[in-house]
Structure 1
Amino acid sequence: MTLFERFFEGKEFVWRPGLDRIKGAVELSGRKEYPSIIVGGTNGKGSTSHLIVEALVRNGLKVGLFSSPHLLRFNERIKINLKEVSDEELNGVFLEIKPVVERFQLTYFESSLLLALKIFEKKRVDAAVFEVGLGGRLDATNVLKHQVAVLTNVSLDHTNYLGSTVREISEEKSEIFRGAEFGVVGTDNRDVLEVVRRKFKGELYIYGRDFWADEVSVNLDGTSFFYMGTLPVKTSLIGEFQSINASVAIRTSQIFVEKFFNRHFLIPKEFRVKLPGRFEVLNFNPPVVFDVAHNEGALSKLVKNLIELKIFGDVYYSGLRDKEQEKNLSIIGDYLRVSKGELHLLEIENERGMAIDELVRIAEGKGLRPRIVKGKIRIKEIKKPSVITGSFYLGGLIERG
């Protein structure tokens, strides 16, 4: 456990809106002197951020990445050229910023951002990519000035914080475009685009109009497509939607390299980055997939992917209290009626986790007959095609060996 984690151990998870705390802390300790990209959206932020970094690194830049949440190790949140920063580096820098964290009473997320900024400064990165944590308008990453803003998509999630409609949520998320010179949007949703166009007056690139993916092919080795109908590209990430994420990453990286580094941009023909918990294949025979999908949009894409790949089996599921579990379990139920599989429910041992009795009640209300799993999910004991999904927190309940 890092000193950062030990400092926050036992403290209640809290999202305290407002940018005054982190703004003061950044002005005192964490300013940046390099161009950056901010990536927001409901789904696909993590994949798109990592793909952007890989493209920039392939074009000769030293790049910092700040992302969240982590799945197995806190170190996943802060990377240099896609390599996690070591415990020793994290501990040393945290001791430096700890007085600032305490002075401004920063939250866990705000503190992790300040930690990343200080590490990027010490590592002398050429550029950095910052993944939004929640929303956009009041997210700590938005206190920084970014040269390029990316919005992957918008769907219903965190409705208790961000709004109850796609348009309302777009109002919050599109605030990441303020101050940016260039914008990239990975959706053609009319409500989203109307909000973005009203708020952003810079140079805007839209998926489906200015760039796109054609002839998409998906298998358990990854996703292949033709970028703008001509250039063959492959990513190790699995899913038709990953062709959109990769296309967004290509266009974003091209703008960034050409406009801010005055270099010719080379489009990678293959992206090798893999992310735990993003249609991660834990076993091939039978296929067992782990995906952290936790909202209606992501789960719908996951189910579509499973069906297209002919993975018909059981579901291991759990979720958080602040997610719309009625909608989530409806989607799971629709899949199970096609797959003829069983639902296995787990309880996440976290203050945000939904009680197992409540999950059972909702599942039974959808006509499902769930089984309760206690302890860890042991992959070697699974004998049927299966998907593990519903939350990042499930990563800690999987016994992979």
Structure 2
Amino acid sequence: MAAQRKTSRYVVPIAVAGIAAATIGLVPALAASGDPDLPEITAQQLIEKIAASDTQTLSGTFKISTDLGLPAFDGLLGGLAGGGSGEGSADPSAQLTKLVSGTHTLKIAADGPERQKLTLLDGKEQYSLVHNGDEVWAYDSASNQVFHEKGAEEAGRAPEKELPASPKALADEVLKAAGDTTSITVGGTANVAGRDAYRLVIAPKQQGSTVEAVTIAVDAATGTPLKFTLDSTSGGKPVVDAGFTKVDFARPAASEFDFTVPKGAEVTEGDQLEKDHAGKAPEDLEKALGDFGLGGAGQNGPEVVGEGWTAIATFDTGEAAPKTEDAPKEARGFLDALGDEVSGKFGSGTVFKTKIVNALMTDDGKVYVGAVTPQALVDAANAAH
């Protein structure tokens, strides 16, 4: 049990990387060249156009490029939780962490909220994730492994292994969160996958956020968001620059969502996977993940300081901060690359950094996390003392 508690403390810096991925979403969005000549439109009209969009069916190909400014950590969360590296597994929670770094090509199909399919292409191999009614299937061709989950909706809950959010879903969340702290403008036009689009630019008015701007390319004909780009104040490549290279709004064939277990494939049921991992991930690990928005939230949840783009979540882990030399071997190099030591009125601690989400963990176990600069975290910790 002591070893489990020690492992759980290292979830804090690792979860910074996870929440960064959650912040950007796994969404299609990459602009093609060309600036079409479209009728002028105000930001309010463009927002209304997005809200009125009712695209239920589509298929297409898109690329997603992600640069969080992180060292490689594929499968690191799974390894710390006792679930292995994710290699040779069809479990979506392990496989989809690949999208957190690098450039990937995917194929997507959707027929309303009941049926979606995503295929991740990786050279000659591919990974497919299919949601059809109350069943979720996943297949990893490299290992010939199948993951299956059934009956989640019948049990009164959504499937645990959901497909990544759509561009519209992410746009809705960004617009819903926008308020007096946000500037929303129309930043010209673009051509995405051969379709004319407007560029909606959303940017913080506040100082101290790591977000430079969020740009959403909106299909001029349908109002469907086709592009999502997230830029950081640190400059360089966008944190996320991904998008449709082909898109078709016709209804995909029903057969697109059929799944047949390949010959010789090993099938793992979702409930069996949970049993296999029982006892390997301590309850405080799950709580820490929840506090970072990665799992079931803690009973009380973190306290939020500030508002808008500079809001900071803070909570007390109740344990002293971890030392790199005591970390599990899977995490040592990652921690060295991710953390900087800082000090202030609060004492001392370590800031774990990405290009978009940063977290300060003080030596007495208090955590401050947000899409803000390291200095903003230090100021928040000082103000609390």
- State the TM-score bracket (shorter-chain normalisation): under 0.3
TM-score (norm 2): 0.25
Give the structure, 1 or 2, with the largest relative contact order (CA under 8 Å, sep 6 or more): 2
Higher percent of residues as helix: 1
TM-score (norm 1): 0.25
